Amino acid sequence: MAKTSAKAMTRAELQRKACGLRMKAWSYPRIAAELGIAVGTAYNYVAAQIKADTDAASETGDQIRNQMLDQLDAAMSHCLAVMANPEITDANRLAAVSKIVSVHERRAKLLGLDGAIKVSVDESVLALLTGDDDDV
């Protein structure tokens, strides 16, 4: 296992400290003075810490999404096995079909496949919906 050098550790600590101060609305010159670094370095440290935090959050989100997709795959396999069993009742077969549809819907949401749909309503449809269809 690789050791973290004292210089790298100090830089990481400085990055976290600089970012924390920036989150408290400190200016970059004030952060630089507090930490004994150049203003440009203060900016770079804050930017690097934000990127590291963002990358870590994104990775965690991807891991959770992949775990949920694996669970949905397992649920789908179980439902398909139930469907293939010739001894199940029609009620259980319909319940399995319902679960399969639910799994597909959840999977589509996780993958972002359910985008917004633009719907156009003309005056005749609007009149029917509002009950003012005398002119239609």
Q: Cβ distance 34 to 26 under 8 Å? A: yes
**Quick one: which H or E segment has residue 43?**
helix 39-84
Mean pLDDT to the nearest integer, 69-91: 90
All residues at 6 or more sequence positions from 41 whose CB lies less than 8 Å from its CB, including other chains: 32
pLDDT tens per residue, range 86-111: 998 989 889 989 999 999 999 898 88
User: Which pTM does this prediction carry?
Assistant: 0.46
Question: Which of 43, 99, 111, 37 lies closest to 74, judged by CA?
Answer: 99
